[in-house]
Every structure is written in C-alpha cells, then in structure tokens.
Structure 1
Amino acid sequence: MIVFPTIELQGGKCVSLTRGRLEEPSIWHVDPVQTAQSYASAGASFIHITDLDAVAGEGNNDELIQEIVQKAGSSVQLGGGFRTRQRVEEWIDKGAGRVVIGTLAVQDPTTVQELATRYPDQIVLAVDVFQGKLMTEGWRNAGAMDPADFVRAYDSAPLAGVVVTDIDADIGDQEGQLGVISGVAAATRHPVIARGTVRSLDDISRLKYVANISGTLVGRALHAKDIDLAEALDVAQPVPEPKAEFQ
C-alpha cells in the first residue's frame, strides 16, 4: 500500500481542514518546500498536494507548487481546482506525476475520459462524499449521481486511481467512514486511495486489509507528529504470506 504524505496549501501555508471547511483551517507553521523534501528523504515515492485556494476558486499557489515539484525529490500527485482541460495539461507538462480531478469529472466526463486516454496512469478521480452524496465545487454542492455509479462510469478509463474522501466522517466514526470508502472501492476496478482515515499507525495496518484500497493520504497526523512517516511507510509494506511446507 502506498502512503501519500499530504500537503494542503492555503495562502502559501500548510494547513489542515476539518470536514472540508475551507474557512476554518488549522495552520501548521512549517515551510512547504522543506516539508516536501523531508517526506521524500523519509522514503515517500509520492507526495500529495492539494491547492485549497484553487479549490475555492480564489487564486492559487502555482509558484510554490512548481517549486515543490522541482525540489521535492519525489513524484507529486496534485489536486485542487482542475476544472479545465488546459489546466490539467499545463500541470502535467510542468512535471506533476498525477493530477486529481473531481468537479470536471462530474460536469464533463467526456473530457476527463479523453485526458485519461492521453495521459494513462496520470489522471486520478476524486470522489468526495458527504452524507452519502457526491460533492463538487470544493465540497460545496451535492451532485445528483450516486458515488458508486459515478466511479463505475469511469471503469473503462486508464485511471491511475480513485481518491475517496468521506467528508462527513473526517473526525467522526471511523467504522462508518471505512464503510463509505470500502463501498466505493467495491464499485470500481481501479485502485482506491483513502483520504482522511489515518490518525495512527494502527489505522494504516487496518487499511491494508480492506479490499481494493491501495493507498492512503496522510496529512494532519504527520504535521501533528502523531505518526512518523518512516514508520508509516514500513507498516504499509506488504506482509509475506506464509509458505506451505511440502514433504
């Protein structure tokens, strides 16, 4: 399983959100570029970055993100405000290893299918769920489509994966949260990346045994030092199955 250390940017600062509330960020007083470099040094193969200003449609952190892409030392999976084909292609050209698309995938599935075909294994679908409904426009609007039906519609696309967030359970009942994420995971053939479920190393251990979950985003727990990234990466490694002894 892949652990994606996560950096959420708002106004050039590292932040964390509670239940997707853009107006109530927790601010971490760390340098974003140095933080990304430290994640790479710990062994992370991918770093996930979300531009919350782009999510809100209130500017962006493009220059800072470009610096992270160039200096981090790990591949970057980038999400936040990708609502046009041009912006997706622009960031792939700038070196983003993967681009995460949510609202555009709901509003213009043909374009996203075409992008996935043109950039195989570089497009990631974002599925943000609140009270069972698919959310768009920076988690502010509920879509009409069921989350499971939404991911099924992309079964034929060569996606790199699907990031699933249960916004409502961000700090709530973890069993219920895993139920939502595993339900979406069961509806798609693509590998699923769980978001917002990890608060301890035990949570990573548990996710390893949920069918079709191949990764997890970890942000707040790393900033708060509840989890050491090197230990998390070690826990996420597959455990060799016991071999039968033949006589």
Structure 2
Amino acid sequence: MIIYPTLELMDGKCVSLTRGRLDEPVLWHVDPVETARGFARAGAEWMHLTDMEGLKGGDANNALIREIIRAVGIPVQLGGGFRSREAVTRWIDAGAGRIVLGTMAVQDPDGVRELAKYHPDQIVVAVDVHQGRLMTHGWQSPSAISAEDFIAAFDGAPLAAILVTDIDADIEDSDGSLGVISGLASRTRHAVIARGTVRQADDVARLRYIPNIAGTLIGRALMARDVDLAEALALARPSPEPTAEFI
C-alpha cells in the first residue's frame, strides 16, 4: 500500500480545512518546499498536493506548485479545481505525475475517459461521498448520480486510481467506519486510494487489510504530528506472511 503524504496549499501556505470549509483553514507554520522534501527523505514514493486556490478558480499557488514538483524528487499527485483538458495537459507537461479530477469527471466523463487514454495511468478520478451522496465543487454540491454508478462509468478507462473520500468521517474528525470506502473499493477493478481515514498509525494497519485499497492520503495527521511518516511507511509495506512447514 502506498502512503501519500499530503500538502494542502492556500495563498502559498500549508493548511488544513476545518470541516471542509475553505473559509476556515488551519494554518501550519512550515515551509511547503522543505516539508515536501522531508516526505522524500522519510522514504515516501509519492506525495499528494491539493491546490486550494485552484478549487476557488485562482492560480496564486502555481509558481509554488512548480517549485515543489521540481524540488521534491518523487512523483507528485496534484488535485484542485481542474476544469479543462488543457489545464490537465499543462500540468502533466510541467511534471505532475498524476492529476486528480472530481467535478470535471462528473460534468465531462467522456472527456476524462479520453484524457485517461491519452495519459494512461496519470489520471485519478475523485469520488467524494457525503451521507451516501456523490459531491462535487469541493464538497459543496450533491450530484444526481450515485457514487456506484459514477465509478462504473470509468470501468474501461486506464485510470491510475480512484480516490475515495468519506466526507462524513473526514469533516467530523471521528474514527468513522471504513464501510463507505471498502464498499466502493469492492465495486471497481481500479486501485483505490482512501482519504480521510488516517488519524493515527493504527489506521494505516487497518487499511492494509481492506481488499483493493492500494494507498491512502495522510495530511492533517502528519502536520499535527499525530502520525510519524516513517512509521506509517513501515506499516504500509508488505510483510511476509507465516507459512506452514511441510515435513
């Protein structure tokens, strides 16, 4: 299972959102570029970056994102307000390892499937679920389509992964049930990345035993030092299972 240490950027700073609200960010007094480099030094194979300015339609973080992509030394999975194929292609050309698409995938699934064919294994589709409903526009708007049907629409596309967020668990800061994520993971052949479920190291160990969970994002817990990245990476690595000895 891959651990994706996560940075959320707003106005050039590292933040976490309070209950998913863009107007109530928790500010972390750390240097974004050096923090990203620290992820790589700890042994991370990937990192995830969310551009909160992009969610609002802005581009104030663009230069910083490019600097992180150049400096970090590991692939960067980038999300945050993508609304056009041109923007996706531009960031892949700028060095992003993967692009995460949510609202665009709901509004233009044919276009996203075409993007996935043109950029195989570089497109991740985000599935954000709140009270059983698929949400769009940064968790603000419910969609008429169910999460299950939405996932099924991309069955044949060469996606890198499906990123599933149980918004109920994420915004309530509760342990939450893994039922939403495990249920959706069972409905797709794509690798599934979980978000919003890790608050302590034991949560990583639990995720390892859910079929088809290929990774998890860890953001706030790393910033708050509730989770040590090196420990999480060690827990996520495959370990040899005991085998019976035959005489």
Length-normalised TM-score, structure 2: 0.97
Name the residue aligned to 2:167. Answer: 167
Give the Cα separation in 1 of the matches to 2:228 and 2:25.
22
C-alpha contact (below 8 Å) 1:19/1:168 kept by paired residues: no
Name the residue aligned to 2:219. Answer: 219
Give the Cα separation in 2 of the matches to 1:75 and 1:18.
27
Give the counterpart letter for 1:208 in structure 2. R
Name the residue aligned to 1:110. Answer: 110
Aligned length: 246
Q: Percent identity?
A: 61
Give the Cα separation in 1 of the matches to 2:23 and 2:5.
23
- Note the C-alpha offset of 1:172: 4.5
Query: 5+ unaligned residues in a row in structure 1: which ranges?
Result: none
Give the Cα separation in 2 of the matches to 1:54 and 1:242.
47
Equivalence map 1:28-39=2 (5 Å): 28-39=28-39
RMSD: 1.1
Name the residue aligned to 1:184. Answer: 184
Give the counterpart letter for 1:90 in structure 2. R
SS at match of 2:22: coil
Deviations 1:165-184 (A, max 9, x none): 111221344343x1111111
C-alpha contact (below 8 Å) 2:169/2:176 kept by paired residues: no
Length-normalised TM-score, structure 1: 0.97
SS at match of 1:22: strand
Give the counterpart letter for 1:44 in structure 2. A
Give the counterpart letter for 1:48 in structure 2. H
SS at match of 2:21: coil
Query: 5+ unaligned residues in a row in structure 2: which ranges?
Result: none
Give the counterpart letter for 2:132 in structure 1. G
C-alpha contact (below 8 Å) 1:49/1:79 kept by paired residues: yes
Give the Cα separation in 1 of the matches to 2:131 and 2:241.
38
Give the counterpart letter for 1:189 in structure 2. R
Equivalence map 1:115-194=2 (5 Å): 115-170=115-170, 171-176=172-177, 178-194=178-194
Of 198-207 and 59-68, more deviation after overlay is shown by 59-68
Give the Cα separation in 1 of the matches to 2:19 and 2:167.
5
Give the Cα separation in 2 of the matches to 1:19 and 1:119.
33
Give the counterpart letter for 1:213 in structure 2. I
- Note the C-alpha offset of 1:148: 1.2
C-alpha contact (below 8 Å) 1:105/1:125 kept by paired residues: yes
Deviations 1:14-52 (A, max 9, x none): 001133211111110000000000000101110100001
**Residue 87 (structure 1) aligned with residue 87 (structure 2):** yes
C-alpha contact (below 8 Å) 1:148/1:183 kept by paired residues: no
SS at match of 2:89: helix
Give the Cα separation in 1 of the matches to 2:22 and 2:166.
16
**Residue 236 (structure 1) aligned with residue 236 (structure 2):** yes
